[in-house]
Chain A
Amino acid sequence: MAMANTNVLADVISANEFPSFSAQHAVQAVPKTVVNKGGEILGARPEGRFVSEVLLSLGIEPGAPALEPQ
């Protein structure tokens, strides 16, 4: 996703090596994806669903027309 959209910064964090940071984000099972510190996605998903859930957690309706018509 980071390669597809330059606005996306993607981190892969080894939860075992950063226990206190993981605890801050209440990581109890992996994979856990935190979106902008607020949203979260637990577990793995097929690609399309994962993308949709990331968008939803940002308040974007997947597939809705772009907000900024040129």
Chain B
Amino acid sequence: MAFLRPADAVRVKQRFDEELVGDVRLLTFIQPTTGLFVPGRAETDSGRQTEALLREVAELSDRLHVEVVNPREDPARAALHGVERFPAIVVQSGQVEGETGSQETEKRGRVRFFGLPSGYEFMTLLDTVVNASRQETRLTPASVGLLDAIVEPVHLQVFVTPT
């Protein structure tokens, strides 16, 4: 099933063609569904949907790569990225020419998405991909100047719902 309508796919492709500069990898942690029904615990297929959506989007540009990791098989990789909830997408830029990241060389992404990025979050994901590819921020110079005051690690968690 296609997630993107053909007209939207054309628009996204056009944007990627115009704006992507460097390679971006969407390192995606997905726990395969077990097929078990546990009362009180919903087993959604949002992981499978996330993978399908990202693969569809990655088809639109040679600069965009998707790597899917099963955290049960590679818990060290999930731990490296501090990912404890799934599905999770870590947006990585630079030096991603097809190779899978090793623990020694892999950079930690600084923007992560938890859950299926649908609705408005899909637009946020596209913006993040473009920013990562260009190694740019969209903030005004004034905001960037203010943020220079942050000299220690800061963790921002933005809770959203699909709209």
Contact with A along B109-149 (1 / 0, CB 8 A): 01111111100010010000001100111111011101111
**Complex contact A7–B152 (CB within 8 A):** yes
Contact B158 A33 (CB under 8 A): yes
Indicate whether B102 reaches chain A with its CB closer than 8 angstroms. Answer: no
Once the chains bind, are B115 and A3 in contact (CB under 8 Å)? Answer: no
* Inter-chain contacts of B34 with A (CB < 8 A): none
Q: How far is the CA of A58 from the CA of B156 in the complex (A)?
A: 11
Residues on B with beta carbons closer than 8 Å to the beta carbon of A66:
148-149
Give which listed residue, B146, B154, B159, contacts A62 with CB less than 8 A.
Answer: B146
| A interface residue count range (under 10 / 10 to 19 / 20 to 34 / 35 or more) | 35 or more
Note all chain A residues with C-beta closer than 8 A to B36: none
Say whether, besides A4-B137, A4-B147, A34 and B159 are in contact (CB < 8 Å). yes
- Whether, in the assembled complex, B161 has its beta carbon less than 8 Å from a beta carbon of chain A, the answer is yes
Which A residues are within 8 Å of any B CB, using their own CB?
Answer: 1-18, 21-22, 25, 27, 30-37, 47-48, 51-52, 54-55, 58, 60, 62-64, 66-68
Can you report 30 residue pairs joining A to B where beta carbons are below 8 Å apart?
A2-B111, A3-B111, A3-B137, A4-B137, A4-B147, A5-B144, A5-B150, A5-B154, A7-B152, A8-B147, A9-B108, A9-B111, A9-B112, A10-B156, A10-B158, A12-B113, A12-B160, A13-B157, A14-B113, A14-B115, A14-B160, A16-B162, A18-B115, A25-B157, A34-B157, A51-B146, A55-B146, A55-B149, A62-B146, A68-B151
- B residues sitting closer than 8 Å to A (CB atoms) are 44, 46, 85, 108, 110-117, 121, 124, 131-132, 135-140, 142-144, 146-162
